[in-house]
Structure 1
């Protein structure tokens, strides 16, 4: 019988392990360093970080021109820091989209319009200030619920999101038209009854962001750190942009992430997609052909203030905030804490170990870990 450590090492060496897939992708990249250099650098990071440095590939450290290897964080370190400093109260609120919406609505934070929600067969919508329950396992009651929710939409398009979960999994977009068929009604009610979901009105993004790609809601990821009893601070930000035809900006779906200069809200010169999506570098959006360099994001000062306001209402934590920008200003979509993937933020910044705010979080984690 293997102990936990041996089992982990054994799993890492299996042919189907993620790190081997990452290695194959890196070796196919025409912009990679020589293989001998890659091997030496990988071994160096293994010894220095005392973990299998998969981030050597996923953070693009294998590419030509990447010199400061130790500036970037490994997965083990990211998770450990978050585990140590993140208060459980933040996880409880942020991990449930319904709790998240109710909490921040009480504090007048700008949020997507909530049309309804369901817990399996029980659907709820707000009529005249009162939440009304429907049995969506019954077609008549369920169709009444869905018809009311659709009629309440101001933007003629809704998003159905799982109450728990992230990365766009199980997210469904419905465009509202006069031709919403009986079969569509049945299919949607069946989908809802198999889980717990929020139904939100679509956010109409600012026209400037629509220029980049108008089929997806292009959102900002902004990381903040708040120590107990202190004011929150911003670490970094990047923009996620979807590809033409996709209704989500998710990087897992092949979208692009572009670093933002947090001082002025302008995009940096180059964006990227993830290693397993090609590890490409883009100076412009591949579909709209809009250049990223110096592209000015609207309402950026308000975006930063929204992230700080949201973080100030949380206990001690590092949080990645997802923020959309409408024609009227920023809208808070969700927050991610404890074990959320900081890697894209780390890449976009150029290595979090060089980030002065992250250094404060690291110092706090080290001080707590010594006790």
Structure 2
């Protein structure tokens, strides 16, 4: 009866069939179900030309473009070492055509020796959710090239330095770089606000932390820079809640994130350079500070809202929804 009541109220209030209810709000723990954005409201935010300029969207959509842009600006991001467009590999301002596994092994061996590095992190320029990402290391180079040769030379990849994650975060999970997702918003008064933040953790041996790839999310208390008591998996991975990391057993509640204040400052600085009004930033915490891994014009707003506890509790989001509805009329 409670579910039926909530569904009826949502249908009337939001003027849509609330399918999202069963994916994100179907829980006894959620009392303030009206504080969560509806599908229509999420789509309105994502599709608004008032919030997103096409020029910025194309920058966010391509990780290679974003990395090259960051090189020319003061946005701190993992160093772009090389990249490949099919069998054409670019490194050190030179282009090399790769025609065999042996040539590819030699290409990276020379690079590792020249730069004195132990590995690279590969990401497809346009995929989302951590799909297609992997590491290539000096130690396992031949094995990895034998396994991945066809997918590498027939695809496109951005090759960046491997992030040296902070030791305190490694205590929770060290197999992946566990990033903070922050949503920034430029108000009508032209002020930059951090609306919400949550941290993502990988599980098992996965090199990525994305919830859509099997990881889980934990909300962050913005004022303290600490983790909330429990995290959650997406419904397609069981939708369960966790109070400690399933691999390490590390308790999440109250963990103080190193350099959290600096992470907020870095995001605000980046927004001043790329003034899109609504951006989701992925920030990694290293031993020496923060680095922005990527930016998204269409962050997972439903996931953010669930981690936050209902984005409509935030006055800026309430005002934004009203602003978008006014523009529609």
Consecutive unaligned residues in structure 2, runs of 5 or more: none
The 1:78–1:145 alpha-carbon spacing in structure 2 relative to 1, beyond 3 Å, is same
1:180 to 141, 164, 186: 141
Q: Give the deviation of 1:124 after TM superposition.
A: 0.2
TM-score, reference length from structure 1: 0.82
Match of 1:28 in 2: none
Task: Work out whether 1:133 is the aligned partner of 2:95.
Answer: yes
Determine helix, strand or coil for the equivalent of 2:171: helix
Determine helix, strand or coil for the equivalent of 1:268: strand
* Distance (whole Å) between structure 2 residues aligned to residue 246 and residue 201 of structure 1: 18
Q: Give the deviation of 1:77 after TM superposition.
A: 1.5
The 1:207–1:184 alpha-carbon spacing in structure 2 relative to 1, beyond 3 Å, is closer
The 1:77–1:149 alpha-carbon spacing in structure 2 relative to 1, beyond 3 Å, is farther
Task: Work out whether 1:96 is the aligned partner of 2:62.
Answer: yes
The 1:154–1:48 alpha-carbon spacing in structure 2 relative to 1, beyond 3 Å, is farther
1:299-314 map, 5 Å: 299-314=259-274
Match of 1:74 in 2: 38
**Alignment root-mean-square deviation, CA:** 2.1
Judge conservation of contact 1:135–1:142 (CA < 8 Å) in 2: no
Determine helix, strand or coil for the equivalent of 1:212: coil
Match of 1:115 in 2: 81
Deviations, residues 97-135 of structure 1 (Å, cap 9, x unaligned): 111111122122211121100111211001xxxx10011
Match of 2:17 in 1: 52
Match of 1:156 in 2: 118
Judge conservation of contact 1:154–1:201 (CA < 8 Å) in 2: no
Consecutive unaligned residues in structure 1, runs of 5 or more: 1-35
Structure number with larger C-alpha Rg:
1
* Distance (whole Å) between structure 2 residues aligned to residue 328 and residue 95 of structure 1: 28
How many residue pairs align between the two structures?
327
1:215-364 map, 5 Å: 215-227=175-187, 230-338=190-298, 340-364=299-323
TM-score, reference length from structure 2: 0.92
Judge conservation of contact 2:76–2:291 (CA < 8 Å) in 1: yes
Q: Give the deviation of 1:176 after TM superposition.
A: 2.0
* Distance (whole Å) between structure 1 residues aligned to residue 319 and residue 31 of structure 2: 24
